[in-house]
Every structure is written in C-alpha cells, then in structure tokens.
Amino acid sequence: MAEMVFFFIFAIIAVGSAVAVVTFKNPVHSVLSLMVCFIQMAALFVLLRAPFIAVVQIFVYVGAVLVLFLFVIMMLDIRQASMTRFVAGGHFWIIALLVVLIAEMVVILSRSKFTNMAVAATSRLDGSVKEMGIALFTKYLLPFEVISLILLVALLGAIVLGKKELS
Amino acid sequence: MVPLSWYIILSSVLFVIGTAGVLLRRNILIVLMSVELILNSVNINLVAFSYYHQDLRGQVFSIFVITVAAAEVAVALGILIALVRNRAALNVDEIRTMKG
C-alpha cells in the first residue's frame, strides 16, 4: 500500500516535470526540471529493487549529462537566440502524428497480457551490486567491452568536434 | 504491490511527452533533452520488466542504454558547439546544409 502511494508521488512529479521540460521557454529551466524528472526516475528504480541502476542514473544523468547541458548553455552565450520558442509552423501534422501515437499506445496497452502479471516466484534477485557485477563480467562481457569502445569513440569525437580549427 | 501496468503506463506517458518535445519544439537543446527523456522512459520499462520477471537482463540492458545516451549527448553537444561557432543557429529548421 505504501509502495503505491510512493509510486503515485514519484510518477506525478515525473510527469509534471517532463511536461515542464517541453513547455518552458528558457533552456536552463528545462534542464533543471529534467533534473527533477530524472531524480524521480531514480526513486522509481529504488522501488523496483534496482539500487545500482538508481545510483548510476543519478551519477551519469544528473551528475554528468545535465551538468554538461548546463555548461554548454552557459558557455555559448546564446541566450537571446535560445530564448525564442521555435514552435514549428506545420502544427496540424504534428498533432495528428501525436494523436496516432497516443491511440496506438492505448490500443497496445489495453490488449497486452502483461498488465496483470505478478512478480515471478522463481530464482529471486537480491538486487545487490555483486549480482550485477558478476553478470556484467561473465555473461555480458562482450557487450560490456563493446560499450567501452563506444565511449572511447564518443570521447574522441567530442574532442575532434570541439577543436577550434579543423585544419 | 504496484501492478506492472502502472509502470508501463507511466513510461508510455513519458515517451509520448518526449516525442511531443522532439516534434513541437524547434530549439535544438530542448530536442536533445526530449531524446534523453525518451531513452529514460524506455529504461523504466526495462527495469520494471526485469523486476517482474526476476531476471537480470533488463537491468544490464538499461546500463547499456544509459551509457549509449551519455555518449550520444557528448557527441551531440560537440556538434552543437561547432555549429553555433560557425553560424549561430539554434533552430533545427535552419540547419539544412547536408540536405541534398
């Protein structure tokens, strides 16, 4: 029961701040409300007994990605240009596309058989970091190494793109 | 005990909000933030299914999604800085140099 109450609190704050991200005029305000949204998602991960994912969410998203966004916004001094809202001209097609997407979601969710699923009773996870580390370094070692390569490529790409002169 | 459907509904609501942000806003910074929101709503789904199936694969996958999202943001903001330095355009409709 308490879990449901907490889920409702986190979900309402998350949805409200997500709407705020899209509607705020100032990009800095959008980044800050996105931060609120991501912290609520970390709380939801704790409710789902995934504390390691929650901590990674806070570290990587709130600590790195959003701070990077803030740095870029403040560094570029584009405040006048970035303040305008830039709503697209062809509104009708966008709204039609969104309505189709929402209808699709409603149809799929109302027909899915997952909706009243109980937690599986077999082979309980204990949600520990040890479990996660063993899985990452034995069964999922190859994807783990590939992801490190992707990070290296992204690092090099960011450095090359950020250089002043591309001679 | 929270039903699984609540998590799925929450993540689809956040997905729709993120899609609306990508389509409706023309500010490239807000578009990038909306893409982050979409990736995160998928993460909620993965972790929820991981918990309800008691299977670690969802959590492992969500770590990979988080990593790819971080790499994407680093490259995208690098491109954004290069773009603003060259022509000071933040509206995604004005950036069409690569269009054939």
Residue B33 contacts A where some CB pair is shorter than 8 Å = yes
- The mean pLDDT of B67-84, rounded to a whole number, is 88
Is A27 in Cβ contact with B30 (below 8 Å)? yes
What local confidence, expressed as pLDDT, does residue B88 receive?
Answer: 62
Q: What is the domain partition of chain A in residue ranges?
A: 1-108, 128-167
- Number of alpha carbons in the 13 Å side-chain half-sphere of residue A7: 19
Six-digit token string for B68 = 């790819």
Which pLDDT score, from 0 to 100, does residue A77 have?
A: 65
Question: What percentage of chain B carries pLDDT values higher than 70?
Answer: 86
| pLDDT of amino acid A43 | 95
Phi and psi at residue B91, to the nearest 5°: -90, 125
pLDDT of residue A167: 54
The nearest CA of chain B is from the CA of A125 a distance in Å of 6
Domain ranges of chain B: 27-91
SS (H, E, C) chain A: CHHHHHHHHHHHHHHHHHHHHHHCCCHHHHHHHHHHHHHHHHHHHHHCCCHHHHHHHHHHHHHHHHHHHHHHHHHHCCHHHHHCCCECCCHHHHHHHHHHHHHHHHHHHHHCCCCCCCCCCCCCCCCCHHHHHHHHHHHCHHHHHHHHHHHHHHHHHHHHHHCCCCC
Tens digit of pLDDT for each residue in B9-58? Answer: 999 999 999 999 988 887 888 889 999 999 999 999 999 999 988 888 89
Record: contact A64-B70, CB cut-off 8 A: yes
| Least Cα separation, residue A102 to chain B (angstroms) | 7
pLDDT along chain A (167 residues), means of 10: 91 95 88 94 92 92 91 73 59 86 89 74 76 90 94 92 70
Of A125, A147, A161, the CB nearest to B54: A125
- What's the pTM? 0.89
Facing A18 at nearest CB: one of B17, B55, B84: B17
Query: Which residue out of A15, A25, A61, A138 would a mutagenesis test of the B interface target, given it has the greatest number of B Cβ atoms within 10 Å?
Result: A61
Say what the pLDDT of residue B97 is.
66
Q: Which fold has domain A1-108?
A: Four Helix Bundle (Hemerythrin (Met), subunit A) (1.20.120)
What pLDDT, on the 0 to 100 scale, is given for residue A118? 73
The pLDDT assigned to A37 comes to: 95
Residue from the list B2, B18, B62 with its beta carbon closest to the beta carbon of A4: B2
pLDDT at position B54: 87
Q: Do B26 and A88 touch (CB under 8 A)?
A: yes
